[in-house]
């Protein structure tokens, strides 16, 4: 009997003798007693510690601040409607059927997060928000729009969000790409975006 046949026989025996009982899943608490009261402040603090930053609109309408942040910065790939139709910008609209490699020469990618996690300063990006998964990694820089009302306290809450049940792809992105070698030298952007900024902005109505 070959090793492949032996392996198949072992797995067949396991399946045949497996008890037909589904054990109950444990009831995991949400640890709300330790959740911060100001989720925006907690998220911003952790984002900064992970190398990201908050894009401060400085009193401007958030979308105007976004346009100012990307103006004259080269090719902008956007998966958000807020930047569509602006002739003053080099906009490349991200569409689901486009070649993922076509985003390799993009300077700034713009995407909206499904939600944020205050505990880690992470944003959740799904296939719906990204349209093309490489939007989160190939651009030199990434700007993420995040509705402040969509920040959850911790990962226990995050795992209960519908995005983990309704999408084929979902990723937590925390700050820019960070790679350290054995000597402790930290490099940003070697395996992903060089910078990640978050703009607190509710979705446009309609």
Question: Which residue segments constitute the domains of the chain, with CATH numbers given?
Answer: 34-177+188-200 (3.40.50.10420)
Q: What angle do CA 157, 117, 206 make, to 5 degrees?
A: 95
Tell me if 89 sits within 8 A of 71, measured CB to CB: yes
Tell me if 176 sits within 8 A of 192, measured CB to CB: yes
- C-alpha R_g of the chain: 21
pLDDT of residue 181: 75
pLDDT (tens digit per residue) in 128-181: 999 999 999 999 999 999 999 999 999 999 999 999 889 999 999 998 988 877
Enumerate residue ranges in the chain where pLDDT < 50: none
- Tally of CA atoms within 13 A in the half-sphere of 136 that contains its CB: 21
List of residues 6+ apart from 192 with CB closer than 8 A:
136, 137, 176, 177
pLDDT of residue 206: 56
pLDDT of residue 1: 61
Tell me if 105 sits within 8 A of 178, measured CB to CB: no
- Residue 54 DSSP symbol: E
pLDDT of residue 117: 97
Q: What is the pTM of this model?
A: 0.84
pLDDT of residue 115: 98
pLDDT of residue 101: 95
Phi first, then psi, for residue 3 (nearest 5°) are -65, -35
Nearest to 32 by CA among 160, 163, 156, 162: 156
In terms of DSSP bridges, do strands 178-180 and 115-117 run parallel, antiparallel, or are they unpaired? unpaired
DSSP H stretches of helix in the chain? 3-17, 39-49, 62-70, 127-130, 155-158, 163-166
Q: What is the rounded distance in angstroms from the CA atom of residue 48 to the CA atom of residue 80?
A: 24
pLDDT of residue 169: 93
């Amino acid at each position: 009997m070959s090793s492949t046949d032996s392996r198949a026989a072992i797995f067949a025996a396991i399946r045949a003798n497996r008890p037909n009982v589904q054990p109950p899943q444990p009831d995991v608490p949400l640890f709300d007693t330790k959740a911060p009261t100001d989720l925006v402040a907690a998220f911003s603090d952790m984002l900064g510690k992970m190398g990201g930053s908050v894009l401060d609109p400085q009193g401007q309408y958030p979308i105007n601040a976004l346009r100012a942040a990307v103006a004259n910065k080269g090719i902008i790939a956007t998966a958000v409607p807020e930047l569509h139709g602006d002739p003053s910008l080099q906009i490349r609209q991200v569409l689901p059927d486009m070649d993922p490699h076509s985003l390799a020469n993009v300077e700034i990618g713009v995407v909206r997060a499904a939600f944020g996690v205050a505990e880690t300063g992470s944003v959740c990006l799904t296939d719906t928000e990204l349209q093309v998964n490489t939007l989160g990694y190939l651009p030199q820089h990434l700007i993420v729009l995040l509705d402040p009302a969509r920040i959850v306290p911790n990962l226990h809450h995050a795992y209960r969000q519908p995005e983990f049940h309704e999408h084929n792809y979902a990723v937590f992105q925390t700050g820019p790409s960070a790679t350290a070698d054995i000597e402790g030298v930290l490099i940003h952007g070697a395996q992903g975006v060089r910078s990640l900024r978050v703009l607190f902005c509710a979705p446009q109505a309609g």
